[in-house]
């Protein structure tokens, strides 16, 4: 019961929940390091400054928006932008080749299994165009009823489009969806879509979420859905 009390005031919202929509990078696996290494390699080749602190600002935002941030206002031709994005993506794809089930964050697969057993619909909604490849390497494709990614909609997070598209594919109303996110841009998108939000990470980063938890291992379905 002690566990349940912290969720009590959320219960009217939680009672409606029928689906869980997961972000990928930073929630189920930690690919931020690979994105960092790929951008760092590109930045060094191009003589641009880029460090781990800068990388934190790229969490959850698209490839193009990331490059624009790294360029700090420097204007390049569309052709050059495309070449830089492709080169970074080539490095990223090289790094993710080594991903296996062992790269799932602690508790991730147990949570997917438990939610599925409880009858919730499960979806992935990642801003990454590489998400289907990563999900496949992690060995968790079969858990998801819908797999939405960076190529599924035009407007990336913080626009609500990817989450709304996912809810439509699931045939579940947005207010009956929980989004699990590690990035501010992702939470903004989920809130704009009218969904319940669980923020994974420190309050400085995900404090805007309805519920803030340090990791997916802390999402306890028996405590969240004790009233269902």
By annotation, the residues acting in catalysis are: 23, 25
**SS3 of 200, please?**
strand
Instruction: By CB under 6 A, tell whether 63 contacts ligand BG6.
Output: yes
User: What x/- string results for residues 160 through 189 when contact with Mg ion is judged by CB under 5 A?
Assistant: ----------------------xx------
Alpha helices by DSSP H, listed for 97-210, are 108-117, 131-138, 161-170, 184-192, 203-206
Instruction: By CB under 6 A, tell whether 137 contacts ligand BG6.
Output: no
Closest Cα partner for 190 from 151, 170, 162? 162
Residue 197, binding choice from Mg ion, ligand BG6, none, Cβ under 5 to 8 Å by partner class: none
Residue 189 near residue 163, CB atoms below 8 Å: yes
Instruction: By CB under 6 A, tell whether 158 contacts ligand BG6.
Output: no
Other C-beta atoms lying within 10 Å of the C-beta of residue 213? 16
Span near ligand BG6 by CB under 6 A; candidates 8-16, 57-65, 170-178, 207-215 = 57-65
Other C-beta atoms lying within 10 Å of the C-beta of residue 218? 14
Dist CA 80 CA 91 (whole Å): 17
Dist CA 152 CA 160 (whole Å): 13
Closest Cα partner for 62 from 81, 43, 41? 81
Residue 130, binding choice from ligand BG6, Mg ion, none, Cβ under 5 to 8 Å by partner class: ligand BG6
Residue 211, binding choice from Mg ion, ligand BG6, none, Cβ under 5 to 8 Å by partner class: none
* Cβ-based nearer residue to ligand BG6, 22 or 143: 22
- Least distance in Å: CB of 222 to ligand BG6? 29
Phi, psi (rounded to 5 degrees) for 180: -110, 115
Q: Which helix (H) or strand (E) holds 150?
A: none
What is the widest separation between alpha-carbon atoms in the chain? 59
User: What x/- string results for residues 13 through 42 when contact with Mg ion is judged by CB under 5 A?
Assistant: ----------x-xx----------------
Residue 158, binding choice from Mg ion, ligand BG6, none, Cβ under 5 to 8 Å by partner class: none
Residue 224 near residue 7, CB atoms below 8 Å: yes
Residue 127, binding choice from ligand BG6, Mg ion, none, Cβ under 5 to 8 Å by partner class: ligand BG6
Span near ligand BG6 by CB under 6 A; candidates 60-68, 162-170, 201-209, 210-218 = 60-68
* Cβ-based nearer residue to Mg ion, 15 or 52: 52
Per CB under 5 A, residues contacting Mg ion are 23, 25-26, 60, 182-183
Which residues here bind ligand BG6, judged by CB under 6 A? 24-25, 35, 58-63, 66, 89, 126-130, 150
């Amino acid at each position: 019961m002690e566990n349940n009390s912290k969720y009590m005031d959320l219960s009217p919202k939680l009672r409606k929940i029928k689906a869980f929509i997961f972000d990928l990078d930073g929630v189920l696996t930690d690919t931020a390091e690979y994105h960092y290494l790929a951008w760092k390699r590109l930045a060094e080749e191009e003589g641009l400054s880029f460090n781990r602190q800068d990388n934190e600002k790229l969490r959850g935002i698209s490839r193009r928006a990331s490059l624009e941030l790294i360029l700090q206002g420097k204007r390049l031709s569309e052709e050059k932008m495309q070449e830089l994005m492709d080169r970074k993506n080539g490095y990223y794809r090289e790094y993710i080749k080594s991903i296996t089930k062992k790269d799932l964050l602690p508790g991730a697969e147990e949570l997917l299994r438990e939610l599925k057993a409880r009858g919730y619909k499960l979806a992935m909604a990642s801003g990454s165009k590489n998400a289907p490849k990563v999900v496949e390497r992690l060995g968790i494709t079969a858990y998801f009823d819908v797999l939405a990614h960076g190529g599924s909609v035009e407007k990336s997070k913080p626009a609500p489009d990817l989450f709304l598209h996912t809810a439509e594919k699931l045939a579940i109303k947005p207010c009956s969806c929980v989004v699990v996110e590690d990035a501010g841009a992702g939470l903004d998108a989920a809130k704009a879509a009218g969904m319940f939000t669980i923020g994974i990470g420190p309050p400085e980063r995900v404090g805007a979420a309805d519920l803030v938890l340090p990791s997916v291992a802390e999402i306890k379905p028996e405590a969240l859905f004790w009233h269902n």
